[in-house]
Chain A
Amino acid sequence: MYRNFLSSKALQPRIKELKFSFYLLKRNQLTKISLFIVLGLIILAIISPYVIPYPEHAQMGTNPQDKLLPPSSQYFFGTDELGRDIFSRVLYGTRISLNTALLAVGLALLIGIPLGAIAGSIGGYIDEIIMRITDIFLSFPPLLLAIAISSILGPSLQNAMLAIAISWWPWYTRLIRGQAISLKERQFVKAAEAIGTSPIKIIFSHIVPNCISPVIVQASMDMGGVILTIASLSFLGLGAQPPTPEWGLMINTSRNYFLNAWWYSIFPGIAIFITVLAFNLLGDGLREILDPKTRKN
């Protein structure tokens, strides 16, 4: 059985699909660039502790005699008020931001997808209950809700992540529910029902796989927004705590030295900018691949 499953025969069609996606990806320059940036960021996030010039500066280490130096060949991005290398800290920040954002979005998907699929495919009272709850969550701006939740839970990076997941899942629930409602009238779902497949199995093996593409697109675009929200929460003191080299937190501290140390706030800002932009472009590109309707031939 398992050997059959893993045999090359069963994998071949999936490889073919992947190749086709790649072909579509290659045709769009912007998507290609954004994909390279995102891949670069992911690699950076993995290897950053081993390649940055001053690993101790990303942790507790300080170096007061070199404080607030402008960019130079020794410190590429200059140093902060405790003499820490900003270059090392910004690079290390990739790891923190991506990690937190990925977990937050993943958690939101984990809550949102099943709830949305169940609401959409079963309907009736269950649908009403689930959707009214999401309506309550949706009636607050996500950032405000995240601020409220993380201030209740107490300021820390984990709590900020949790707060973001809690304020983000209703969007996925909504998206999936809409898809599921139209899918459940499709003939292949009716066919599965006529075969005698159980309702739960229908939801998770017929409905969810077919409405996942817009969610993937949305999630990859949300990655940018979530990274921004984490930075915002940290900026407000509700997220990462010092000395964590988190971008938002670095910008927050830099405010005090803004007039005579421009490099302190600029470089974390650029890091946020590039990351958010890359994820947004990637989301756009993925939409083109996964949703044939928006494809530009």
Chain B
Amino acid sequence: MQSYFEIKNLKINYNTFEGKKNILDIEHLKIEKGKTYGLVGESGAGKTVLALTILGLLATPPGEIESGQIYFDGEELLSKKEEEMRHIRGKKIAMIFQDPMSSLNPVFTVGYQMRQIIMKNQNVKEKEADKIELKMIETVKLPDAENIMTKYPHQLSGGQRQRIIIAMALSCGAEMLIADEPTRNLDVTIQAGILKLLKELQEKLKVTVLFIANNLGLVSAICDEIGILYKGKIIESGKVKEILNHPKQPYTCTLIDAAVQNESIQQNKKETRGKVILEVQDLKKHFPVNKGFFSKPAAWVKAVDGVDLKLYEGEVLGIVGESGCGKSTLVSTILNLQQPTSGKVIFDGKDMYALDKRDLRRTRKNIQIVFQDPFWSLNPRMLVKDIIGEPIKVHEKNGTEELIERTESLLEMVGLPKEGVFKYPHEFSGGQRQRIAIARALAVNPKLVVLDEPTSSIDILSQTQILELLEELKEKLKLTYILISHDLSVVNSMSDKIAVMYLGKVVEYGYSKDVFHQPRHPYTKALFNAIPDLHMEGVEGLVSLEGNVPSAINPPSGCRFHTRCPLAQEICSVKEPEMVNLGNQHSVSCHFSEMNGPEAKSS
């Protein structure tokens, strides 16, 4: 008896510069109708290649299908002609890509695009198609469907776009969805919403889903069965619970460990008081929005709008918030990579904005930054020795003599073999490249290191290792960190203090154990409960925030969060809440901070 979807002995090779490489070798994979199968693997494991092969979209050459069969609903897909595949692709099997922008045409409204698809696939007139379309948009839970239909893709947020893609897939009557890391580029609160939606649709419409992810937590929340893909082979597969509780392969164990470790809380943070190393006073950064060429700015984007922070030596300050909340602008303004609108930053007793150019460059030696994306933060034309050696060359005139030796020892310090100094960055994996970026930041012994989402674009296994490395280096070199992330669990595992940002303002601030155990602001709570963990069965426990982060040009009146807040009442839209000190340096800006205080987190 054949399953609804089945892959047998699939072997795919790639012809590359270094010769033929086997990148996918799947003996057997099957999905029953109406089930969700989760495929987990690191980047480079062959996940996307598999998805493309199923749809017949694999580029050949360089790809080459050596052998194998893919059965879908009783039909063999690999032997089909391109023309026949066109009827299956989209109509029966639809794909949701990582980046929703790549599957929407930017010059048409989403309504038009959906209508075209519906008219073609269901043979209906325009008016009827419109009706179906409205229903579909409502099915994927987008409010104000009629308005959304008139929007162009760029006017929608990432989460909305992903929902539109899902609606499009369903409107063709797709029976199977292939979701290739559909939430990778989304914020955690939005991600939770998409996961919930997928689960619900799958139950309601009996859609079969192949869910591809690099994170075990995500998959375990919504899948019935999972398979672990490692170097092109499925090394383990079965029911979610079985695999989580009784993993057989060592690789699976490390994956599970990595996911658990991220959740664990380090409570033994000491409350030390060194000297104040960085003080931010009422910092504001507004960007002008120009209408005409010569006219005055029409409006201001208030990216950072009055932030106060104090950082003591040896501390780790975590800054969390969704994308667009002004985290990155805050840091680059603190570093004086851009001029502030108003406010002061005092680093090590010096006013950062009062320094002249030469002094500023000298001060930069003491503040270093590690950027989010290691694929863009290293100059691709430079050898590793020149990348790590750059700050040494800039700041130490006589440091060039033993440059190679020093870069070698820096590489070893971050856990890479010293032979790496004569390689280009593209020869390293994401995690390794991030290590190189860390080595560069530490090359001239800085006092403060800013980590701008250091783990968000690398694999989960490397994430844990990078966090461990950072922790170790901090102790060894007596560093102070500012850690930025949209992922509360990453911040929590490392930082002493947490500042939660929303739309350019800090809404909650305090020692991490206070913020973590007794979050007082509804936004903090939502952020925290949006992350699926391994022991979660189903997606009911996930909290997703409806709506988008409002525009920073015209922030909502009163409390900025009231448009999305589950507790919002009249007063919220009128009066802006003050920062209330709850004791032990824990402060929060919410009208109901007293009310929703003592109750602990609910996961």
CB within 8 Å of B: which residues of A? Answer: 1, 4, 9-10, 12-13, 17, 19-20, 23, 186-188, 190-198, 201, 205-206, 209-210, 297
Contacts and interface: CB of A to CB of B under 8 A. Distances in A.
Interface stretch (B262-270, B315-323, B370-378): B370-378
Given A10-B422, A188-B376, A188-B379, A198 B361 contact: yes
B204 interface: no
B368 A194 contact: yes
B390 A192 contact: yes
Contacts of B382: 205, 209
User: Lowest 4 A-B CB distances belong to which pairs?
Assistant: A196-B364, A187-B377, A196-B361, A209-B381
Contacts of B385: 10
25 contacts: A1-B400, A4-B404, A9-B422, A10-B385, A10-B422, A20-B17, A23-B17, A186-B376, A187-B372, A187-B373, A187-B376, A188-B378, A188-B379, A190-B371, A191-B369, A191-B371, A192-B379, A194-B369, A195-B364, A196-B391, A198-B361, A209-B379, A210-B379, A297-B61, A297-B62
A158 to B, nearest CB: 35
A122 B404 CA distance: 32
- The interface centre, meaning the residue of A12, A191, A297 with most chain B CB atoms within 10 A of its CB, is A191
Contacts of B437: 191
A210 B426 CA distance: 14
Given A188-B376, A195-B394, A210-B379, A13 B423 contact: yes
A195 B368 contact: yes
B440 interface: yes
B395 interface: yes
A187 B401 CA distance: 28
A197 B371 CA distance: 17
Interface of B: 17, 59, 61-62, 332, 335, 337, 360-362, 364-365, 367-369, 371-373, 376-383, 385, 390-391, 394-395, 400-401, 404, 422-424, 427, 437, 440
A23 B400 CA distance: 36
B377 A188 contact: yes
A205 to B, nearest CB: 8
Contacts of B332: 190
Nearest to A188: B379
A148 to B, nearest CB: 33
A210 B390 contact: no
A3 to B, nearest CB: 11
Nearest to B383: A13
A196 B362 contact: yes
Given A10-B383, A12-B422, A187-B376, A195 B390 contact: yes
Given A187-B371, A297-B61, A197 B390 contact: yes
B380 A210 contact: yes
Contact of A196 (B17, B365, B383): B365
Contacts of B422: 9-10, 12-13
A206 B400 CA distance: 19
B371 A196 contact: no
A193 B362 CA distance: 12
Contacts of A201: 394
A191 B377 contact: yes
Contacts of B394: 195-198, 201
A23 B16 CA distance: 10
B391 to A, nearest CB: 4
A196 B395 contact: yes
B381 A210 contact: yes
Contacts of B380: 188, 210
Contacts of A10: 383, 385, 422
A202 B390 CA distance: 11
A287 to B, nearest CB: 18
A295 to B, nearest CB: 10
A191 B382 CA distance: 14
Given A192-B390, A210-B381, 18 more contacts: A9-B422, A10-B422, A12-B422, A13-B423, A17-B424, A187-B373, A188-B380, A190-B369, A191-B369, A191-B437, A194-B335, A194-B367, A195-B390, A196-B361, A196-B395, A197-B390, A197-B394, A297-B61
Contacts of B368: 194-195
A69 to B, nearest CB: 54
Contacts of A17: 424
A221 B221 CA distance: 56
Nearest to A27: B61
Contacts of A190: 332, 337, 369, 371, 377
A191 B440 CA distance: 10
A12 B419 CA distance: 12
Contacts of B378: 188, 191
Contacts of A194: 335, 337, 364, 367-369
Nearest to B379: A188
A19 B18 CA distance: 10
Contacts of A210: 379-381
B169 to A, nearest CB: 27
A197 B394 CA distance: 6
B227 to A, nearest CB: 29
A187 B17 CA distance: 29
Nearest to A20: B17
A195 B368 CA distance: 6
Contacts of B17: 19-20, 23
B438 to A, nearest CB: 12
B435 to A, nearest CB: 15
Contacts of A192: 379, 390
A174 B212 CA distance: 43
A229 B183 CA distance: 55
Contacts of A13: 383, 422-424, 427
A10 B365 CA distance: 27
B554 to A, nearest CB: 26
A10 B408 CA distance: 13
Nearest to A189: B379
B480 to A, nearest CB: 16
Contacts of B361: 196, 198
Contacts of A188: 376-380
Nearest to B386: A205
Contacts of A186: 376
A193 B394 CA distance: 11
A9 B17 CA distance: 21
Nearest to B372: A187
A201 B379 CA distance: 13
A40 B376 CA distance: 40
Contacts of A187: 371-373, 376-377
Contact of B59 (A12, A20, A297): A297
A20 B373 CA distance: 26
Given A191-B440, A194-B369, A206 B379 contact: yes
A191 B437 CA distance: 9
Contacts of B395: 196
Contact of B337 (A4, A23, A193, A198): A193
A55 B390 CA distance: 54
A198 B394 CA distance: 8
A136 to B, nearest CB: 20
Contacts of B337: 190, 193-194
Contacts of B377: 187-188, 190-191
A179 B361 CA distance: 26
A142 to B, nearest CB: 30
A23 B17 CA distance: 7
B388 to A, nearest CB: 11
B400 to A, nearest CB: 7
A194 B370 CA distance: 10
Contacts of A19: 17
Contacts of A197: 390, 394
B420 to A, nearest CB: 11
A22 to B, nearest CB: 10
A74 B47 CA distance: 69
A46 B392 CA distance: 45
